[in-house]
Structure 1
């Protein structure tokens, strides 16, 4: 099996690492001022602070003429720091879970985590965590859904700010309250800016991935085209040698044979030598023609490796049987187009992190099994790309079967349902089980799956 991954770290790993590092750094910066202020000067204006003061009032005596209330202030301070730390740690943990490589998007569990993160950001009421959440929305969700969540976030933030100002109004004069309100309003503008920047980064990353995929497809097509032209030129030269030079040498041999017979049984030495040389030359020409015909194969294996190696994301596992090298030019072009379409779907639509491609031989020709761990087709109508793949395969007498995440169904073609067997068995179906047989790929448990058959003339088991 050829395990193909891009040599530099993919962006799908760099961006999560950067997000987690920034989140931890911002959490430490948020905790530093109250920790440095101490119980006497810390401001407990947000929801965590109010809850900390309330809990401290339940377990410590109220201030009196004999007690200054330092115990209550200390407990409220400790509860506040502990609550802030726990909420920030929970927020960062859920952030890691949502952006980790291989995480599934748009599931109910993921939206539950997102709602919890939103509540934590509102309770903490800090610009840093509101900004992290806004950028997370832009980076992970579709645009309309992300804007809806951002609107809810801003609305809840405004409600929390109004509640905090209402509770703190007894300790603030009008000018200071107006200043704080202006600062809080500017924070919402920062959220919009962070959202826009994260969206730009997401679009830039996707554009780079699509450009790399297009470049890989171009290189693979160029490689296959060069092999096709080279094979066509070799076949032309072989035919010319056979039809022209071979024909003249055959005629020369016939004339030399006739000359030998006409020499009354006593051929000259030079005439016999010429006859032997012409026969030897004819045999060499036939050998060259046969060799050129045998070496005119298409290097479709190299084209597929170029295609997969040029994709930065998702990671691709490619397994190919040795019978792939026996593809004639037309079948090789169809095979490359099928794999290109599957890779394009994984890059542009599935948002997958792993794509497995397994091409094995059977008694009829080749059987390909392709699967990813993306979001699946969701029962969507078959697009032009898959329709074109089906038409190309049909021209060679092949078939295409399509399945999605949890569908277990069959979209066209004949044969059994999706199995749970290994992908390495040339006669099996695409499944969720471990890869079996020689050259099997790692199993993909969910996402989009397809299987195609490509008959080859003269194929053997």
Structure 2
């Protein structure tokens, strides 16, 4: 098996995905630095701890320090509460950033339930922090990673839970807040919920734009591959037409001319004219050359399947495609090459749209008079989903040319297809 190195000058979607992920992680780190830095700068006296970590820190400090009295001002309890608050806040920030890094890895392979639990854990941590910045990070992930309906449902849950936490925090601190400050905080919290919806919408639009670019690039690659194979087929058909015309027109006329020259030579007696003998020789030579040209044109029907597949694989932004193809597979007929290209295109399209795969391998080899193709990805697999129109169309196309299709899927191991197709079963 000879592997084909595919030179890809640029795959626009892959750098874009990496940039989005890096931007999100950098933003999370900046938010974490601002959150913790503001608390450190404010100190125990100016930092408001009216969120779950702050309340928990105050509760724990009451067990770890003596109660204030006439002899003790209670500053040690305040300081310990502040330190515990910072520690809990830093822990929650680390949890959010760590889960965000793990959840957005391009090559992540795990059960879908674990991915959903990671988002749920980030949401709970953001609720505990009661921070707009980290709520916004979770909302952006919902819009960027989940299907629209599920993402909207999760966003609604996030907003309702956030409102509930806000109400609890305001209720616990209502004695320390005046009416004016209470209304101001309510207005701030309402604005925060609107910002969550705005961040969700922007993330969803960015996701749609990226998916549109990937599908456009995939369609362009398929068009180039089809155009390449179609050009080879058209050239082969044109050579066949020229060969037939030479055989039917020029060849027949030269044969008739030879017959008449032979007749003229016999009628001229024992000593035919020198010019007549020369004409006979030239006519026979020309007829032999025409027959040689016709035979060569009929045989030269090369179909560059390898080139078409290279164009297809090189133009797909994601997943990364590894193509291997042996020399024997290059000798297939135009009809077999077209059928194989259509099947590979369908498999690549399914991997791009549905599999969520980061890698796709295509192995093509010849065994006797049969093409054997193995295509596998590392995506989500098909699960119990029924076979779609694409796979049914592949089966019908292969069956029409004497081929067979087998498919399979395993949890967390992707989806695979095995095709067998006669190399010379159908001639163009």
Please identify which structure carries the higher helix content: 2
Distance across 1 between alignment mates of 2:229 and 2:421: 18
For the 8 Å contact 2:369–2:423, the answer to whether it is kept is yes
Alpha carbons of structure 1 residues 20 and 176: separation in structure 2 relative to 1, 3 Å: same
User: Of 198, 204, 226, which aligns to 1:199?
Assistant: 204
Question: Does residue 449 of the first structure (1) align with residue 416 of the second (2)?
Answer: yes
Alpha carbons of structure 1 residues 106 and 144: separation in structure 2 relative to 1, 3 Å: farther
Alignment-derived partner of residue 175 in structure 1 = 180
**Cα-to-partner distance string for 1:414-458 (whole Å, 9 max, x where unaligned):** xxxxxxxxxxxxxxxxxxxxxxxxxxxxxxx71121111111227
User: Of 31, 39, 43, which aligns to 2:36?
Assistant: 31
Distance across 1 between alignment mates of 2:314 and 2:250: 44
Alignment-derived partner of residue 223 in structure 2 = 218
Alignment-derived partner of residue 92 in structure 2 = 87
Question: Does residue 99 of the first structure (1) align with residue 104 of the second (2)?
Answer: yes
**Cα-to-partner distance string for 1:156-194 (whole Å, 9 max, x where unaligned):** 211211121122212110110111011111111111111
Alpha carbons of structure 1 residues 6 and 19: separation in structure 2 relative to 1, 3 Å: farther
Q: Secondary structure at the match of 1:448?
A: strand
**Cα-to-partner distance string for 1:289-314 (whole Å, 9 max, x where unaligned):** 22222222222222222222111111
For the 8 Å contact 2:402–2:425, the answer to whether it is kept is no
Alignment-derived partner of residue 7 in structure 1 = 10
Distance across 2 between alignment mates of 1:376 and 1:311: 20
Alpha carbons of structure 1 residues 3 and 193: separation in structure 2 relative to 1, 3 Å: farther
For the 8 Å contact 1:3–1:316, the answer to whether it is kept is no
Q: Which runs of 5+ in 2 are unaligned?
A: none
Distance across 1 between alignment mates of 2:276 and 2:34: 102
Alignment-derived partner of residue 353 in structure 1 = 358
Alpha carbons of structure 1 residues 106 and 199: separation in structure 2 relative to 1, 3 Å: farther
Alignment-derived partner of residue 41 in structure 1 = 46
Q: Which runs of 5+ in 1 are unaligned?
A: 407-444
Mapping for residues 231-380 of structure 1, pairs under 5 Å: 231-380=236-385
For the 8 Å contact 2:228–2:308, the answer to whether it is kept is yes
Mapping for residues 107-146 of structure 1, pairs under 5 Å: 107-146=112-151
Deviation at 1:59, TM superposition (A): 2.7
Equivalent pairs counted in the alignment come to: 421
Deviation at 1:349, TM superposition (A): 1.7
TM-score between the two structures when normalised by the length of structure 1: 0.85
**Cα-to-partner distance string for 1:206-240 (whole Å, 9 max, x where unaligned):** 12211222222222222222221111111000111
Distance across 1 between alignment mates of 2:89 and 2:278: 103
